[in-house]
Structure 1
Amino acid sequence: KETGVVTGTDEAIKNILDTLKLLIASERELLALASEIDDEVTVALLSDYISGQEKEVWMLTSFLS
């Protein structure tokens, strides 16, 4: 997601979180499609990506708290 000028750390992290959430949502859609066509390699790859990104979301959310 494109943003304008970012002036603070909290604002930057919130923008990163928003972008990660959009990315995770798109990856979940792809995961469902890959699962429907039994593409196990793509399912495994996307599952790993999503897990890593969810961990990042958790860490960044904790940082903001």
Structure 2
Amino acid sequence: MTLNSIGLDTVKAKDLANDLNELLANFQLYYQNLRGIHWNIKGRDFFNLHVKFEELYDDANMKVDEIAERILTLGETPLHTFEDYVAKAKVPVGKNVSEDEKAVRLIVGSLTELLKIERAILDKAGDANDEGTNSMMSDFITEQEKTVWMMKAWLNESI
């Protein structure tokens, strides 16, 4: 086994970086969806949702940067073209979403996909003894589970 400069198995680090690139692609689509619904939301909940969607896209933008920097820390190159993002993403694309319930359901669907990817990365990071990636995924999961709960509460649905 060959270790990289931060003490991780190079093969496992490369594999984690590939998974993180998949997460990065999905986060980029999620971010773009949030921008679109922020811009296009209409209705009686406009003021509340407009602000909430901005909060969510600011957070997603920060996470995109953290994911890319983690990929670099692992010794790999983060994806950085829309072509790559679209090819790898599983997050649903929301086009021209302006109705409040559809917007919130898009967020829940997106977060559900992100959580699946993050949990898989969390498992691999633990096996690779990669505490940096492990901690990042744990933090992301905790925040996103809460957001799903809040969005489901807004929809008057249970988790």
Does TM-score exceed 0.5, indicating one fold? yes
Q: Which has the larger radius of gyration?
A: 2
In the TM superposition, what is the alpha-carbon distance from 1:48 to its structure 2 partner?
A: 0.6
Match of 1:50 in 2: 141
Q: Does 1:25 align with 2:116?
A: yes
> Hey, what does 1:7 align to over in structure 2?
98
Measured in 2, the distance between the counterparts of 1:29 and 1:10 equals 29
- Return 5+ residue gaps in structure 2 as ranges: 1-91
State how far apart, in whole Å, the 2-side matches of 1:39 and 1:3 are: 34
Seq. identity, %: 34
Residue type at the aligned position of 1:28: R
Q: Quote the Cα distance in structure 1 between the aligned partners of 2:140 and 2:95.
A: 27
After TM superposition, the score normalised by the length of structure 1 is 0.92
Q: Any idea what the Cα deviations from partners look like across 1:4-59, whole Å, max 9, x if unmatched?
A: 32231001000110000000100111111101111112111110110000000000
Offset at residue 63 of structure 1 (A)? 0.6
Distance in 2, matches of 1:7 and 1:31, equals 34
| Equivalent-residue separation in structure 1 for 2:135 and 2:94 (angstroms) | 32
* TM-score normalised to structure 2 length: 0.39
Q: 1:56 and 1:47 mapped to 2: Cα distance? A: 14
Residue in structure 1 matched with residue 3 of structure 2 by the alignment: none
RMSD after superposition: 0.9
Instruction: Kindly indicate whether structure 1 or structure 2 has the higher relative contact order, using CA contacts under 8 Å at least 6 residues apart.
Output: 1
Aligned length: 65
User: Aligned partners of 2:149 and 2:112: how far apart in 1?
Assistant: 11
What is the aligned partner in structure 2 of residue 36 from structure 1? 127
AA aligned opposite 2:121: L
Where does structure 1 differ by over 4 angstroms across 4 or more consecutive aligned residues?
none
